[in-house]
Amino acid sequence: MKTSGTAIKKILIPLLFVTIITIVYALVFTLSEFADSPYSSLKDFLVLAFQWVSIAVGTFGLLYLFSINKYVFAVTFPLLVTFSTFLAYFRYTVNATLTPMTIELALINDLRTNMQVVSWQLIFLMLLAIAISVAVVWLRWKKVNFTRPLLHLIVAVGIIFMTNSLIPQLKRPLTQRMPYSIYYTFKTYFEIRDVAAEQRDTFTSEAVADSDSLVVVFVIGESLRSDHLQINGYERETTPYLVKEDNIVMLTDIYTEACFTHTSVPHIMTQADSLNPQKAYNEQSFVTIFNNAGFRTTWIANQESVSTYAYFMNECDTLIYVNGSKSVYTFDKWLDEDILPYLEDELQDSNPTQLHIVHSIGSHWWYNSHYTDEFERYKPVVMSRVVSSNTQEEMINSYDNTILYTDYFIKNTIDLIRDKKAILVYLSDHGESLGEDGYFLHGTDRPELHYPAAFVWYSDKYAQSFPDHIDNLKNNSGKRYRSDYLFHSIIDAADITTEYKNPQLSIFR
Residue 78 or residue 176, greater confidence: 78
Is the model more confident about 164 or about 98?
Answer: 98
Instruction: Assess whether pLDDT exceeds 90 at residue 429.
Output: yes
pLDDT in tens, 315-348: 999 999 998 888 888 888 999 999 999 999 999 9
Residues of the chain with CATH 3.40.720.10: 213-363+399-505
According to DSSP, the residues that pair with 509 across neighbouring strands are none
Mean pLDDT (the chain, rounded) = 91
What is the model's pLDDT at position 1?
46
Q: Is the pLDDT of residue 421 over 80?
A: yes
- In 232-334, which residue ranges form alpha helices assigned H by DSSP? 261-269, 279-282, 286-292, 310-315
pLDDT tens, residue by residue, 386-401:
898 999 999 999 999 9
Question: Cis (ω within 30 of 0) for the bond into 366?
Answer: yes
3-class DSSP assignment, residue 377? coil
What is the distance between the alpha carbons of residues 399 and 355, in angstroms, rounded to a whole number?
Answer: 30
Strand partners, 357: 218, 299
Angle value at C-alpha 70, between 64 and 72, nearest 5 degrees: 75
Higher local confidence (pLDDT), 116 or 422: 422
Beta pairing partners, 354: 215, 296
Residue range 265-274: mean pLDDT, rounded? 93
Measured distance CA(274)–CA(256) in Å, rounded: 10
Q: Does pLDDT of 82 surpass 70? A: yes
| pLDDT tens per residue across span 106-118 | 776 554 554 556 7
Is pLDDT above 80 for 7?
Answer: no
Q: Check residues 258 and 291 and name the one with the higher pLDDT.
A: 291
Residue 89 has pLDDT above 50, yes or no: yes
The CATH label, of 3.10.20.30, 3.40.720.10, 3.30.450.20, 3.40.50.80, for the domain at 213-363+399-505 is: 3.40.720.10
Q: What is the pLDDT of residue 6?
A: 65
Predicted local distance difference test score (pLDDT) of residue 109? 59
Predicted confidence at residue 169, as pLDDT, reads 67
Three-state SS across 127-195?
HHHHHHHHHHHHHHHHHCCCCCHHHHHHHHHHHHHHHHHHCHHHHHHHHCCCCHHHHHHHHHHHHHHHH
CA-to-CA distance for 476 and 243, rounded, in angstroms?
A: 19
Q: pLDDT per residue over 124-174, tens digit each?
A: 999 999 999 999 999 999 988 888 888 889 989 998 888 877 666 677 778
List the one residue out of 365, 361, 261, 362 whose CA is nearest residue 310: 261
Q: What percent of the chain stands above pLDDT 90?
A: 72
Please state, in angstroms and rounded to a whole number, the distance separating the CA atoms of residues 251 and 481.
Answer: 9
- Closest CA relative to residue 122, chosen from 86, 91, 97: 86
Q: What is the dihedral of CA 377, 383, 385, 390, to 10 degrees?
A: -90
Contact indicator for 67, 140 with CB cutoff of 8 Å:
yes
